Structure 1
Amino acid sequence: MFLGALFAAVTTSAPAARSLLVYGVPGLVLLWQGGRLLSRLWREPRRLERALRAQGLRGTSYRFLTGDLREFGRLNKEAWARPPLPLGCHDIVPRVTPFLCGNVREHGKTCFSWFGPIPNVTITDPALVRDVLSNKFGHFGKPQFPALTKLLSDGLTSHEGEKWVRHRRILNPAFHLEKLRLMLPTFSACCEELVGRWAARCLGPDGGSCELDVWPELQALTGDVISRTAFGSSYLEGRRIFELQSEQAERFVGAIQKIVIPGYMYLPTKNNRRMRQINKEVNSILRGVVGKRMRAMAMREGGESTTGADDLLGLLLESNNTRHEGETGHGQQSALGMTIEDVIEECKLFYFAGMETTSVLLTWAMVLLSMHREWQDRAREEVTGLFGRDDNKPEYEGLSRLKTVNMILYETLRLYPPAVVFSRKAYKEMKVGGVTLPAGAIIEIPVLFIHHDPDTWGDDAHEFKPERFAEGVSRACNGASGAFIPFGWGPRTCIGQSFALLEAKMALCVILQRFEMELAPSYTHAPHTVMTLHPMHGAQIKLTAI
């Protein structure tokens, strides 16, 4: 009746009623939305903070809208501006994660901070870490920031539920042992090209030695490997993608600190515009690569494809023509394996992750072996004992018998893990370690801190001691299996773990066969994070041909 009267008043041009309709209703809507926003950005975080403190948990006080993001950024800048660490110092946690380090020191190993208005609970107990990463409680997933994630890669690592299961099942065959063995000749060829370039540089006037920054060199190597094994192309064809994805990763880190501002990613800021330009260019290049492969597959005239599904791209495209069993258990067919858009997003992920993780591992391994020459000598003795010198190429059986090299790689991953933190989100109210976490809370798993924790690893936790892995990972961390997690844990363990380790072993063996390494005078020890753990000023190493 009221609406009828209001309509009648408006249609008869009653000024007061028309003003109420034109100005009053939108004003009430804005007031209602403002109240909801105030509740989400102030009242709810304050309520959650009181609830966490009431359970005995300590942490920072909530600051309106930004939480601890501003302090996080300030401490990072201060840490990066400090003088480099002494050579041989591996106590890098205060420099690499200064905010976390200070929060744990002040509030304890289980504490909380604020990612904008979202509580961020840090856990360091290996048993709890294992439970969360294995999703033992059944309601933990990856934090989702769709507007931002899509600009870097909306691939396997960001999927949840049935989509994640389907994509993981499609991708798994590409990383089986028999596939990895077939990739070894490609690994070997890429490594030979790398050491060939280095050997040519060492033929100069310096008597068989040269100094170079191995960080970009190893990025080029791992980029070449992932291009050839995953996409059947050379590094030159993928170079532009690597450059763009590297820039996107740096911009991603800057943007994620502002994502808590409502609607921020839709603002026409310089950074947002550039991220969209990069995403558009990467998509265009990959669409061309995918289109070229699809045309080649369409032209085959029966029989086995000469383009094949042996590489990642072929496998993804084959999934477009294969229906997969649904999850209902009734034999029903689900949707097609992957759309072309899905394929492009997975390609973006593997172009970035396939290069980044292994190049970071190899870079820090070379730095550590240059600092600790006794381990370099032991590793070279093992490699030459198995494969000889010169042109004797490492093969799978020999690589699988490596022990010293394995210990060195594991200790490198412990001290300098590529990813320094993992995050999970509670999709419903959950109890973890006696603390009830609200739905939506983020659980922060500080990999670097856990890997350096003396309570697990002993008083020598900050020392480079590969021998701690002589009897396996479990003995190294005193049975605390959630304490060594460079590739994650549980069902979401990095799908490329075996690929990365096999590639790293091959590369390190080939390098040790040909060169002795020592730190160059220009090297400064300043680890810091972009998305992974980089050497801030490069990794300058003096190579001497053997």
Structure 2
Amino acid sequence: MSALMKLVVLVPCAFFLIALINFLYDYLWRPPRIQNMLNSQGIKGPPYRFIHGNNKEVTSMRKEALSKSMGSTDEIFPRVQPHIYSWINRYGKNYLCWNGNRAELVISEPELVKEVMRNSEKAFPKAKPSFYVSKLFGNGLVFIEGEKWVKHRKLSNNAFHGESLKLWKSADLLESEKLAKEIQDCVMKIVKKREDKVVNGEADSFGNDFLGLLVKAYQDLNEKKKLSWEDLVDECKTFYFAGQETVNSLLAWTVLLLAIHGDWQERQEESPPNGLVRGVEREVQLGKVVLPANIDLLVPNIALHHDPHFWGDDVHLFKPERFAEGIAKATKCNAAAYFPFGLGPRSCVGMTFATTETKIALSMILQHYAITLSPAYVHSPMPIITLQPQHGIQVILESLHNNDA
């Protein structure tokens, strides 16, 4: 056999051997090592399963939970996150589970949650989004890190300061993967229209709303302040989906609760994301536990928002009076007991905007209509991006004024 032929055979074999070694390391050697390391420090959890980790158990528990009917006042935690509910009860507030071969440490102990979310050690960056999520949302403020995040956050703070807020028009729900190009084309048209107004003398500036500040930064000659075109598009994607999804969800669940508890309509609930994910960038100590690098941390805010230790045994009941003296009093000044908009420096920049928009929409509804629950409504909350009604929310609006349509 000639030297060339030997090379042709050996090179693929070498690549195959390297790939096999990497596979065995990732799926057979590293997971048990991480599990043993954390088990020895008191962190337990369901055992790692080859290839799928614990994904089969999670899928099975979710299917079983969704197959059961529930009343409108039943506790939602066991239904929307049955695996987290079950494993917290079995293994404790902090436990280790597996998303495939990727270790995921779930933490619901308040002091550890605060340490992770404040990230003073700079060791817990935001987890990288999947390819599809990054295409849909863009690599905007929610996902970026470091100096780029500082620049974008400063720009967004200016736009979402209480005095700067302007209401944005909602759009229809979007679908399919072709959204990436469609959204980019749409953003280009909107930006060009804003630029043309300035060029044609129809406007003196790009404006002080969020889009105006983005366009101004895109046109900035100072490289340190300038946004690239990709940055501009990504921020528009991020704030459209973040604002649309959360406010729609919040309004829907609030209307449902008011329909069920009609007495509160005359006295004038939040649906937060399913959990906040962080990565572990390097080996670091969290509380008394030493964490290995390259694992994920999941903060299931629903676990803390439904913790009887903070809220009492009636935690699942609708009792807005808990907050009569403010959030600090209700949570006994523990910031990790209730954080629907996140916690620490990466908390939601649009908090004031979202709450203002929701209050305005809700007040407009309650001025004109009494809300009652439709007999057709089936209570079935399920987690998607935020908590969503699986079958929609059907309510009956009864006019409070004879001349209302």
Contact persistence 1:371–1:518 (CA under 8 A): yes
User: What is the CA-CA distance between 1:280 and the residue it aligns to?
Assistant: 2.2
Q: Alignment partner for residue 69 of structure 1, among 50, 55, 79?
A: 55
User: What is the CA-CA distance between 1:295 and the residue it aligns to?
Assistant: 2.8
Q: Which of the pair has more CA radius of gyration?
A: 1
Aligned pairs for 1:97-496 within 5 A: 97-145=81-129, 147-153=131-137, 154-180=139-165, 183=166, 225-227=167-169, 235=170, 239=171, 242-244=172-174, 247=175, 275=177, 277-300=178-201, 304-305=204-205, 308-322=206-220, 334-379=223-268, 412-413=269-270, 417-496=271-350
Q: Secondary structure at the match of 1:94?
A: helix
Summarize the Cα distance change of 1:431–1:349 in structure 2 as closer, same or farther, 3 Å threshold.
same
Contact persistence 2:136–2:179 (CA under 8 A): no
User: What is the CA-CA distance between 1:441 and the residue it aligns to?
Assistant: 1.4
- Distance in 2 (CA, whole Å) between partners of 1:322 and 1:286 is 18
The one-letter code matched in structure 1 to 2:188 is R
Partner of 1:94: 78
5+ unaligned residues in a row in structure 1: which ranges?
1-14, 184-224, 228-234, 249-274, 325-333, 380-411
User: What is the CA-CA distance between 1:375 and the residue it aligns to?
Assistant: 1.6
Contact persistence 1:88–1:371 (CA under 8 A): no
User: What is the CA-CA distance between 1:296 and the residue it aligns to?
Assistant: 2.8
Greater share of helix residues, 1 or 2? Answer: 1
Contact persistence 2:379–2:389 (CA under 8 A): yes
Contact persistence 1:143–1:424 (CA under 8 A): yes
The higher-RCO structure (CA 8 Å, 6+ apart) is 1
Cα deviation code 1:309-329 (max 9, x no counterpart): 2222111010023356xxxxx
User: What is the CA-CA distance between 1:110 and the residue it aligns to?
Assistant: 0.8
User: What is the CA-CA distance between 1:355 and the residue it aligns to?
Assistant: 1.1
The one-letter code matched in structure 1 to 2:28 is W
Aligned pairs for 1:488-507 within 5 A: 488-507=342-361
Contact persistence 1:59–1:107 (CA under 8 A): yes
- Distance in 2 (CA, whole Å) between partners of 1:178 and 1:283 is 29
- Distance in 2 (CA, whole Å) between partners of 1:64 and 1:299 is 63
User: What is the CA-CA distance between 1:527 and the residue it aligns to?
Assistant: 0.8
1:33 aligns with 2:12: no
Cα deviation code 1:325-346 (max 9, x no counterpart): xxxxxxxxx4452111111111
1:81 aligns with 2:64: no
Partner of 1:220: none
Q: Secondary structure at the match of 1:156?
A: coil
Contact persistence 1:226–1:354 (CA under 8 A): no
The one-letter code matched in structure 2 to 1:36 is N
Contact persistence 1:170–1:337 (CA under 8 A): no
- Distance in 2 (CA, whole Å) between partners of 1:377 and 1:488 is 30
- Distance in 2 (CA, whole Å) between partners of 1:53 and 1:22 is 46
The one-letter code matched in structure 2 to 1:120 is E
- Distance in 2 (CA, whole Å) between partners of 1:77 and 1:293 is 48
State the TM-score, normalized to the length of structure 1: 0.70
Q: Secondary structure at the match of 1:136?
A: coil
Contact persistence 2:28–2:50 (CA under 8 A): yes
How many residue pairs align between the two structures?
Answer: 399
Cα deviation code 1:416-467 (max 9, x no counterpart): x231211111111111121111111111111111101101111121111111
Cα deviation code 1:238-286 (max 9, x no counterpart): x4xx432xx35xxxxxxxxxxxxxxxxxxxxxxxxxx2x2322222222
Cα deviation code 1:109-155 (max 9, x no counterpart): 11110122121111111221111111122211111135333211121
- Distance in 2 (CA, whole Å) between partners of 1:279 and 1:361 is 26
Q: Secondary structure at the match of 1:122?
A: strand
- Distance in 2 (CA, whole Å) between partners of 1:105 and 1:365 is 29
Partner of 1:56: 42
User: What is the CA-CA distance between 1:28 and the residue it aligns to?
Assistant: 1.5
Q: Secondary structure at the match of 1:436?
A: strand
- Distance in 2 (CA, whole Å) between partners of 1:350 and 1:23 is 52
Cα deviation code 1:8-60 (max 9, x no counterpart): xxxxxxx3423221111321122122212220222111111111111111101
The one-letter code matched in structure 1 to 2:173 is E
Contact persistence 2:32–2:48 (CA under 8 A): yes
Contact persistence 2:198–2:204 (CA under 8 A): no
Contact persistence 2:160–2:210 (CA under 8 A): no
Amino-acid identity (%) = 37
Contact persistence 2:218–2:227 (CA under 8 A): yes
Task: Give the 4+ runs in structure 1 shifted more than 4 A.
Answer: none
Q: Secondary structure at the match of 1:543?
A: strand
State the TM-score, normalized to the length of structure 2: 0.94
Cα deviation code 1:517-536 (max 9, x no counterpart): 11011111111111111111
Q: Alpha carbon RMSD of aligned pairs, Å? A: 1.8
